[in-house]
């Protein structure tokens, strides 16, 4: 068996995005900071999140059958801290720390998130102390949507126990290169 501390330290070397997962409905309004989001399929658009089994947000997502994924930017480290349960001031898990608008599935979406997804729970799979939730994406807001103002900014990332910023590398392909091609 691998030493859990060694495993946690090794995984701490991996850079992850930082996301605010939200839900609302009969089971209540909940949110939590999360670093485990995976794009599973383009058609149909499907994502997967992993939530600790003891989390009240997990129970709410499973009961409400919907959730939002808010991609946080570098300007939102404090929002991340609030929903990670360690606010610098104010209450833990307090939706009053930022501006939210309910999406079409009635999930709270952070007004100035870099991107936001609205998902309906499709499948779940319990794995040890976490549950994988597969969500069918029914709504998507990015900074290229017409008429919707979403600030441009670098995504908030997490590595080695602290927040970081994802910055593009300089292009090394050819002189006059406009940038690195996007991976899909």
Q: How is residue 74 written in tokens?
A: 């570098």
Digits of tens for pLDDT over the chain (184 positions)? 889 899 988 988 888 999 999 999 999 999 999 999 999 999 999 999 999 999 999 999 999 999 999 999 999 999 999 999 998 888 999 999 999 999 999 999 999 999 999 999 999 999 999 999 999 999 999 866 454 444 557 899 998 889 988 777 665 555 555 554 444 4
Question: Is the CB of residue 33 less than 8 Å from the CB of residue 18?
Answer: yes
| Cross-strand pairs, 117 | 69, 140
Sheet holding 115-127, edge to edge: 30-34, 19-23, 66-71, 115-127, 130-142, 45-52, 37-42
pLDDT at site 8 = 87
The residues, any chain, with a CB within 8 Å of residue 158's CB and separated by 6 or more, are 15, 16, 17, 18, 35, 164
Q: Provide the whole-model pTM.
A: 0.86
pLDDT of residue 12: 87
Sequential DSSP letters for 18-66 = -EEEEE-STT--EEEEE--EEEEEETTEEEEEEEETT-HHHHHHHHH-E
CATH topology of domain 4-165: Pnp Oxidase; Chain A (2.30.110)
Domain ranges of the chain: 4-165
In this predicted structure, what is the pLDDT of residue 152?
55
* Interval 55-85: pLDDT, tens: 999 999 999 999 999 999 999 999 999 999 9
Q: CA dist 109 to 3, 125, 175, Å?
A: 38, 25, 41
User: How much is the pLDDT for 133?
Assistant: 98
């Amino acid at each position: 068996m691998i030493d859990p501390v060694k495993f946690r330290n090794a995984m701490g070397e991996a850079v992850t995005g930082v996301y605010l997962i939200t839900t609302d409905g009969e089971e209540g309004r909940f949110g939590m900071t999360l670093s485990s989001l995976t794009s599973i399929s383009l058609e149909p658009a499907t994502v997967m999140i992993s939530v600790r089994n003891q989390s009240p947000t997990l129970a709410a997502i499973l009961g409400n059958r919907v959730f939002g994924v808010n991609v946080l930017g570098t300007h939102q480290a404090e929002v991340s801290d609030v929903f990670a349960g360690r606010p610098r001031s104010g209450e833990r898990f307090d939706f009053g720390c930022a501006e939210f608008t309910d999406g079409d599935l009635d999930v709270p979406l952070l007004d100035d998130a870099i991107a936001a997804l609205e998902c309906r729970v499709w499948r779940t799979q319990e794995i040890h102390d976490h549950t994988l939730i597969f969500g069918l994406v029914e709504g998507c807001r990015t900074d290229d949507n017409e008429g919707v103002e979403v600030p441009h900014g670098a995504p908030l990332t997490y590595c080695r126990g602290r927040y970081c910023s994802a910055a593009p590398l300089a292009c090394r392909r050819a002189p006059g290169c406009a940038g690195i091609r996007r991976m899909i």
